[in-house]
Copies of this chain bind each other. A is one copy, B any other.
Amino acid sequence: MAENFADRLLTAIRRKGTPACIGIDPEYGRLPADIADQKEMNDAADTDSALDAILEFSRRVIHVVAPLVPAIKLNIAFFERYYWDGVEGYYDLIQEAAERDLIVIGDVKRADIGHSSAAYAEAHLAEPEFSNMEDLVAPDAVTVNSYFGLDALRPFLDVARSEQKGLFALVQTSNESWNDLQGLKLESGLTVAEKVATLVNGWAGDAGLIGNSGFSSLGAVISPRDAESTAKLRAMLPHSFLLVPGYGAQGRGAESVAPCFKSDGTGAIITASRSVIYAYEDMRYVERFASEWERCVEQSCRDFIADIARVWPR
């Protein structure tokens, strides 16, 4: 029997010595020159060649970061962009990462009612039950949308419980319009995001989800705002790992993510995506490594880890 997801995540963070996670959001127009050269020999307006280039890039990023970080996050939107072949590529990359002992978070942000959510949980979190899909590897965890309430998450929670998988429910997102809804105050005095945090905490406490570490397989996506509100959300989710987006390209630095950790340094995994995978567009790295894009990515990943280490309580 596999270990509880939260326990596995905690072990992986300890082994690598960092709570850093790399988000892989590949866009064709931003691919590095040596992959771009290759793609120009093909038809750039063809899904096959565009997808080949995107998958090659993603695989090489995975190879670069695998020795350095405990986890990667794959955003399925950038693969669905290439229709069914893109979806196949997404699953190929999950396998690639799993073979390198990375914890893989599928950033799918799914949820629906009843049977539909059950179908999504089978598609995106459960290991395949089909005889012709034995080689397919599902992610270790996925992100889910909280707008429907508990019953939409229940099929995912059932898979998390029975297959030792993980979930991160959206609580507070990193986009500018978060405040259209998430920041509004309820009659109870809580903001919508805070209310969702209390709901998630209620669901996370289920005995079948809590690991030996005391953490639950149900975590929360929380993009930090000011230190006070972040500390409040952290305190509302004592059993949950926080998946923290928005470092780097989304404008947040190490200081802003610091309140996402518990005082012992556990309980958060910090994601950087564009600032790392597109480091070869950043003059600070280009000046040192010229067109060796993988060295730019590696150095940016190391800098991200070092920056987080400054604020990571241990």
Pairwise interchain contact A174-B113, C-beta atoms closer than 8 A? yes
Does A48 interact with chain B (Cβ within 8 Å)? yes
Which bracket fits the contact residues of A? 35 or more
Does A129 interact with chain B (Cβ within 8 Å)? yes
Among A58-66, A78-86, A257-265, A306-314, the one that faces the other chain is A78-86
In angstroms, Cα B123 to Cα A43, docked, is: 19
Does A136 interact with chain B (Cβ within 8 Å)? yes
CB closest chain-B residue, reference A131: B45
In angstroms, Cα B136 to Cα A117, docked, is: 26
Pairwise interchain contact B85-A146, C-beta atoms closer than 8 A? no
A91/B81 contact (C-beta < 8 A), A109-B112, A151-B176, A173-B148 known: no
Task: For residue A22, give the distance in angstroms from its CB to the closest CB of chain B.
Answer: 16
Pairwise interchain contact A78-B179, C-beta atoms closer than 8 A? no
Does A35 interact with chain B (Cβ within 8 Å)? no
A45/B130 contact (C-beta < 8 A), A83-B87, A88-B83, A177-B149 known: yes
Q: Which residues of B contact A84 (CB under 8 A)?
A: 84-85, 87-88, 91
A147/B181 contact (C-beta < 8 A), A47-B133, A175-B114 known: yes
CB closest chain-B residue, reference A181: B149
Pairwise interchain contact B175-A199, C-beta atoms closer than 8 A? no
Pairwise interchain contact B48-A132, C-beta atoms closer than 8 A? yes
Pairwise interchain contact A81-B113, C-beta atoms closer than 8 A? no
CB closest chain-B residue, reference A89: B84
Q: Mark A81-110, 1 if CB is under 8 A from B, else 0.
A: 111111110010000000000000001011
Pairwise interchain contact B83-A120, C-beta atoms closer than 8 A? no
Does A289 interact with chain B (Cβ within 8 Å)? no
Q: Mark A13-51, 1 if CB is under 8 A from B, else 0.
A: 000000000000101000000000000000101111010
Does A196 interact with chain B (Cβ within 8 Å)? yes
Pairwise interchain contact B181-A116, C-beta atoms closer than 8 A? no
Does A286 interact with chain B (Cβ within 8 Å)? no
13 chain-A/chain-B pairs, Cβ below 8 angstroms: A77-B116, A77-B117, A77-B123, A83-B87, A107-B112, A109-B145, A113-B174, A114-B175, A147-B182, A181-B195, A181-B199, A184-B195, A185-B187
- Pairs A-B, 6 closest by C-beta atoms: A149-B180, A149-B177, A113-B175, A77-B119, A151-B177, A84-B88
